[in-house]
Amino acid sequence: MPSPKTTSWIFRSLAQIAVFALVGGASACRAERTQIVVLVDTDFAVPSHMGSVRVVVTDPRDRSPIVQPIELKGASASGCSDAPNGARFCIPLSLLLVPSANRPVDAPVELRVEGIAGTDALTGAVLVSRSARMAFAQGQTLRLPMFLARDCEGVICPSDFTCAEGARCIPIDRPPGVVRVDPRTGAPLDGALVDGSLDDAVAPIDAPLRDASSSNRFDASVEASMDAATDAGSDAAPDVRDPLAPLCAAPSCPSLAALSAGLDFTCARLSNGRVACWGANDRGQLGRGTSTARSGDGSGGLASPEFVAGVVGSSVLSAGDDHACASTSTGGSRHLVCWGSNRDGALATGSGSPWIPTPTIVAYFTGRGAPDQLALGRESAYALLGAQIIGWGHNADRAIGFGPAVTVANPAPVVAPSQLRSIVARARGMCSIGRSAVQCLGANTGQRFGAVAADGAMLTAPQAIDVSLRRDQLALAPSFACGIQSDRVSCWGENRRSGVLGRVPAAGAPRTIVVAQPVDVGDDNISELALGADFALARSNDGAVYCWGSNAEGACAFGTQATDGAVTPATTAPRRIVFPSRFRSPARAIVAGDGHACAFDAGNVVWCWGRNANAQAGQPVTADPRSRAIVTPSPVPIPIPPA
């Protein structure tokens, strides 16, 4: 394969992440140079199918990116493309990453390479992308292969995973094939393997969307070690510890992978596949084998997170109003288990019990493998399995999309758009996001599905809504919705007095105004949205978190609290949340329940705030009314993972 010539293009991050250049041979580099040589190759036809590449280098500490577009016009596997300024681009491409002078060598750097259809590398459609997170090695040259595989076109992997050859989702912090090389010759050094092969880096598996059969693949050795940890008693009550302490000190310590919030409870999924929950448990929402009766004042939650017994190797997790589901690995197979409220068949277990506090296998997925994504609503659930949406539960508002049946107790396929990417659900309804269309069904309360139907009407079959999304970001609330359009947040639906559409109504205006068309909220560079019943959250590309809407119980994390627990001001226009000084920026994820919210930081610490009547914000409920509303984000002590 040809080797591209060294160019004079040098790029320096404003945040001092790294300096990198497009280079060819490394013969001019000294042996002690600290650097990462990235080799980008593809099996797409170049340039007829993949016409350009976009490279993004990011510092996880402050999320400041370097973005470099590369046009591949004229390039092919057997030739190169010469740019007017003398630069030459070939397949494979070779890129050099060098740490800046003030950067700790062992600090991680994230690299994302995107293959673009056409020659517009800045705004063109992304065919496929691949990501890696790794650290430099002092005085050593590391070679990082990044293969853009045709198998990965249309595949969506969860956060902190990326698609690799064979359409497999692998952890971005375990890039396969990394070797130490001689910078003068490019030849691997003896014992140069830095990380495992691709097959060693495929667990926990999150199966790609386009291949239902691949969800049955699993690394048995990893599964066995997880099962052994469970058998050793890891589901016992966690040790009491400092919530700001690391989860564990071992190099292999798992990190936080995802959060999910129900009506008044919260769950966290760790990268080792364990799931811990806290908050309301009156319907067994926490999966602890028992329910917790509410007291006369309505409280009855459990503030201390504990692992959900028997859930190991989980790659997907979702919480609905009063129930939750997660994938798990048992007996050499991957399953879907659900727990909590079983009203209207929400758990699809065949049981008539009103709630089931122990994770129970959903038989439909046995033999089919665990879903790729989950989205739970009010007594309903949806799973993405290959190119299909599988739905079950409450159907009075046609939220499952089947005839007149009030209950769909047995999971069944729901009509889905072509080139399906993701699904979202809330209350009695859901939306599916395809490559070029968004389709919704269920209750259009407050015009949350836009003008496609009247306020409160039922969409009995999926209908396309008039919204153009970027990054597949759409969030639903019971009566409004928000999405990212051209890097800006737009919201539509019921704009209550709280101003959840980004506009607080003027004094004397009607209490509720319904807006069917998207309203620009005004925040740009947003990467994630989360909606409560009457407030909205947005996380920016640099990890800042913004909030607007109701702050009556501290959901926007500011204001003052009276002795009776009331929070002033009660509403707010969009404003940035100020986290305590021990919060390690950037925020890596956000979730919102009915009246509470949570985020986790770069130090793998969960922080929650807002309504806490059932300890859903992770703080004990006491006789003090102020304990029912947490105004300042507070850390939640996730259990110490099993060794």
- Tokens 């409280």 identify what position? 299
The percentage of residues in the chain with a pLDDT greater than 90, rounded to a whole number, is 38
Please state whether beta strands 420-425 and 301-307 pair in parallel, antiparallel, or not at all (unpaired): unpaired
User: What distance in Å separates the CA atoms of residue 149 and residue 157, rounded to the nearest whole number?
Assistant: 14
User: What distance in Å separates the CA atoms of residue 7 and residue 87, rounded to the nearest whole number?
Assistant: 5
| DSSP letter assigned to residue 451 | G
Please state whether beta strands 606-611 and 629-636 pair in parallel, antiparallel, or not at all (unpaired): antiparallel
Q: Which of 505, 589, 587 is closest to 549 using CA atoms?
A: 505
164-168: average pLDDT: 77
Please state whether beta strands 420-425 and 407-414 pair in parallel, antiparallel, or not at all (unpaired): unpaired
User: What distance in Å separates the CA atoms of residue 13 and residue 67, rounded to the nearest whole number?
Assistant: 9
Contact 22, 9 (CB under 8 A): yes
Q: For 629-640, what is each residue's pLDDT tens digit?
A: 999 999 998 987
* Dihedral sign of CA atoms 525, 528, 531, 537 in order: negative
86-97: average pLDDT: 67
Please state whether beta strands 35-42 and 141-148 pair in parallel, antiparallel, or not at all (unpaired): parallel
Whole-number pLDDT of residue 28: 35
- Residue 104, beta-bridge partner list: none
Q: Which of 473, 467, 472, 518 is closest to 492 using CA atoms?
A: 518
Measured from the Cβ of residue 294, the count of other Cβ atoms closer than 10 Å reads 15
Helices (H) and strands (E) in the chain, counts: 1, 45
**Structure-model confidence comparison of residues 196 and 173, the more confident one:** 173
Q: Which of 477, 360, 382, 504 is closest to 433 using CA atoms?
A: 382
Name every residue whose Cβ is closer than 8 Å to that of residue 638 and which is 6 or more positions away in sequence. 243, 247, 256, 268, 270, 276, 305, 604, 605, 606
Q: For 576-624, what is each residue's pLDDT tens digit?
A: 999 998 899 999 999 999 999 999 998 889 999 999 999 999 999 999 9
Whole-number pLDDT of residue 535: 97
75-79: average pLDDT: 51
The number of residues making up the chain comes to 643
pLDDT band, very low/low/confident/very high, at 404 (cuts 50, 70, 90): confident
Q: What pTM, to 2 d.p., does this model score?
A: 0.65
The per-residue DSSP string of 140-203 comes to -EEEEEEEE-GGGTT----TTEEEETTTEEEETTS-TT-EEE-TTT-PEEEEEE-S--GGGG--
Query: What is the residue type of 140?
Result: Q
Long-range contact set of residues 236-241: C-beta below 8 Å, sequence gap at least 24: 237/304, 237/306, 238/276, 238/304, 238/305, 238/306, 238/307, 238/637, 238/639, 238/640, 239/639, 239/640, 240/637, 241/637, 241/640
Is the predicted pLDDT of residue 437 greater than 50, yes or no? yes
Whole-number pLDDT of residue 19: 34
Domain annotation for the chain: domains and CATH numbers: 10-202 (no CATH), 220-636 (2.130.10.30)
Is the predicted pLDDT of residue 198 greater than 60, yes or no? no
Is the predicted pLDDT of residue 163 greater than 50, yes or no? yes
Beta strands in 209-316 (DSSP E): 256-261, 265-270, 275-280, 301-307
Beta strands in 362-449 (DSSP E): 373-376, 380-385, 388-394, 407-414, 420-425, 429-434, 438-443
User: What distance in Å separates the CA atoms of residue 173 and residue 155, rounded to the nearest whole number?
Assistant: 19
Whole-number pLDDT of residue 84: 52
422-438: average pLDDT: 89
User: What distance in Å separates the CA atoms of residue 22 and residue 234, rounded to the nearest whole number?
Assistant: 48
Whole-number pLDDT of residue 60: 65
Q: For 30-59, what is each residue's pLDDT tens digit?
A: 446 788 888 888 888 877 788 888 888 887
Contact 553, 616 (CB under 8 A): no
Name every residue whose Cβ is closer than 8 Å to that of residue 620 and which is 6 or more positions away in sequence. 303, 627
Is the predicted pLDDT of residue 165 greater than 70, yes or no? yes
Q: For 310-325, what is each residue's pLDDT tens digit?
A: 899 999 999 999 999 9
User: What distance in Å separates the CA atoms of residue 437 and residue 208, rounded to the nearest whole number?
Assistant: 20
Contact 443, 427 (CB under 8 A): yes
Is the predicted pLDDT of residue 243 greater than 60, yes or no? yes
Lookup: tokens for 621 = 């409920």
Q: Which of 547, 526, 551 is closest to 536 using CA atoms?
A: 547
